[in-house]
Chain A
Amino acid sequence: MAEYNKSEAELEAVFQQKIDSEQKIEPKDWMPEAYRKNLIRQMSQHAHSEVIGMQPEGNFITRAPSLRRKTVLLSKVQDEGGHGLYLYSATETLGIARSELIAALQSGEAKYASIFNYPAQTWGDMGAIGWLVDGAAIVNQVSLQRTSYGPYSRGMIRICKEESFHQRQGYVIMMELAKGTPEQKQMAQDSLNRFYWPALMMFGPHDSESAHSAKSMKWKIKRETNDDLRQKFIDQTAPQIAYLGLEHPDKDLVWNEEKGQHDSGEIDWEEFYAVINGNGHSNRQRIQHHVKAHEEGAWVRDAMSAYKQKKSQRKINADTAA
């Protein structure tokens, strides 16, 4: 039956039925406006995170302590740029242009993962970021492979393939440090201490506090709750910390036999909201860096389109002359 014959409520029922039966929603399908908006918010935030996330690690490419590590880190950061690109294109299928998304990032209207507002200070941070930050991102992204919007789901499948290399390169850095000199081991511990809690915060507020959760779950944009995903990450990370021979930053962490998972200490939510609200070390720097690169690139983008135009004009002239 043609869609224009249906009422909004009927369309919504068909839409929800598709979702309930695990069919993907595709760009041409009818979707509620709020679903579209919610996706644009989440997907663009994800794209911005990939791009802003290039900065803290980009900050160490020129200082990587061996040629091998320099090569691996550069490839990793480059992948993140590629992820940003897939995700911007996937978001564009919802009828919004990359330029609009970037404008929203630069004005502060759109968000990016708050973890990137923490400064990268030492080489150990390259290890901690790859291992914990990409590690937490993977837990979330694996879950999002089953998200209801087709282009987002396919983007996640593609991205997840590269993410496991990112986490591994981070963990390899940590292993080298942990089995290295006492100073190196100290560096690893320090980075773990600074990035562990912020990595847990990446999963967002507790489910009871999360503004977007209920609707996102019903529409299967999100497939698992913040707290469930966070728990997975806590459980997978504990033995990795033990293997490195480092001290666990959470002094309250204990294995709960009955639940088959760890009980853990409480996150400092005051810090979480403070950083989100602009009080991290690098919030302003990250956006200013992005704006500066964008503005300094304006003449290059202008030159590109001017050249393209000249070229097609010349072709038209040549064709008419012929």
Chain B
Amino acid sequence: MTSSTETVSTQDIIDYATRLGDDAIVIGHRLSEWVSKAPFIEEDVAIGNVSLDFLGHARMYYTYAAEVSNKQNGTDDVTEDTFAYLRDERQFQNHLLHELHKGDFAYTTARQLLVDVYNKYFLEQLEKSNDATLAAIAMKASKESKYHCRRSKDWTLRLGDGTSESHERMQVALNDIWGYTHELFELDELEQRLVDAGVAVDCTTLKADWLKEVTAIIEEATLTVPDQDWAVRGGRQGYHTEHLGHLLTEMQFVHRSFPGAKW
């Protein structure tokens, strides 16, 4: 990452940390929907673990955003929960991939493979951020994401190269999800400013490694990498699929029913 003499705007840091928190909370929430519904109990426990990891990442990003925000505004009442519970659909800036519905176990597996491999490369870069807090969060999250990658790879192989039904379900899932991956590798102005300042990850540079690794796993699983032509974008601008609104409705309902209450 290039270092720069430009000073970084604290609002940019808040926004960037919030986005990363949004990605983590939304996928963590989706995974938690599997608890008591997994194909067998060991998986209820294992998916719960991965979900907890993402919740943990979300809390670290949001807590950081809250700290910077309180410092900037001379307040003390912004917390991790302010970001998770008191923002609406248009304000959430997670990548669309994370919010797509839970789907069947193949859908969850396919999505998770794409997310986990992305995170592995992303966090490796974020560890080098010249923002010390973000670098420290990345360091911690990075260890977990390596385990997530192994797990997702194992499941992709089992399902892709398992029975004809599981193969078919995996291929359908990959085809339905693939178009949401392109925006993972794009920068908007905010991120470009932070890349220039050595704070954010230049995610455009991650695509080649990601594609190579994901392709190798998909092919080993006897599946086919979907065609590259369709692409849906908009998460970072709050332009979401209809899935997110329902997720937030459920997640925020109790919190919002009791304004100002502590839990």
Contact = CB atoms under 8 A, between A and B. Distances in A.
Nearest to A310: B161
A119 interface: no
Interface stretch (A13-21, A136-144, A179-187, A249-257): A179-187
A77 B35 contact: yes
Interface stretch (A25-33, A57-65, A156-164, A194-202): A57-65
A306 B162 contact: yes
Contacts of B62: 67
A234 to B, nearest CB: 29
Among B25, B29, B165, B254, the most chain A Cβ lie within 10 Å of the Cβ of: B254
Contacts of B52: 71, 74-75, 78
Interface in B43-67: 43-45, 48-49, 51-52, 55-56, 58-59, 62
Contacts, number: 137
B261 interface: yes
A239 interface: no
A82 interface: yes
A74 B55 contact: yes
Q: Interface residues of A toward B: which range?
A: 35 or more
Contacts of A298: 39
B162 to A, nearest CB: 3
A62 B39 CA distance: 20
Given A67-B59, A180-B261, A184-B261, A297 B166 contact: no
B12 interface: no
A155 B165 CA distance: 38
A46 to B, nearest CB: 14
Contact of A67 (B35, B80, B158, B254): B80
Interface string A55-93: 100100111111111110011011001101100100000
Given A71-B56, A85-B45, A180-B262, A61 B32 contact: yes
Contacts of A302: 162-163, 165-166
Contact of B258 (A68, A184, A296, A299): A184
A180 B45 CA distance: 33
Chain B binding surface SS class: helix
A299 B166 contact: yes
Q: Specify which of B38, B41, B159 lies most central, judged by the most chain A CB atoms within 10 Å of its CB.
A: B41
Nearest to B63: A67
A63 B39 contact: no
Contact of A77 (B43, B48, B59): B48
Nearest to A173: B263
10 contacts: A61-B32, A61-B35, A65-B254, A68-B263, A173-B263, A180-B261, A296-B105, A297-B105, A299-B163, A302-B162
9 smallest beta-carbon distances between A and B, as pairs: A297-B39, A303-B162, A303-B166, A78-B48, A300-B39, A58-B36, A65-B254, A66-B263, A65-B255
Interface of B: 25, 29, 32-33, 35-45, 48-49, 51-52, 55-56, 58-59, 62, 80-81, 84-85, 104-105, 157-159, 161-163, 165-166, 169, 250-251, 253-255, 258, 260-263
Given A81-B41, A302-B165, 5 more contacts: A63-B254, A65-B255, A66-B85, A289-B37, A302-B162
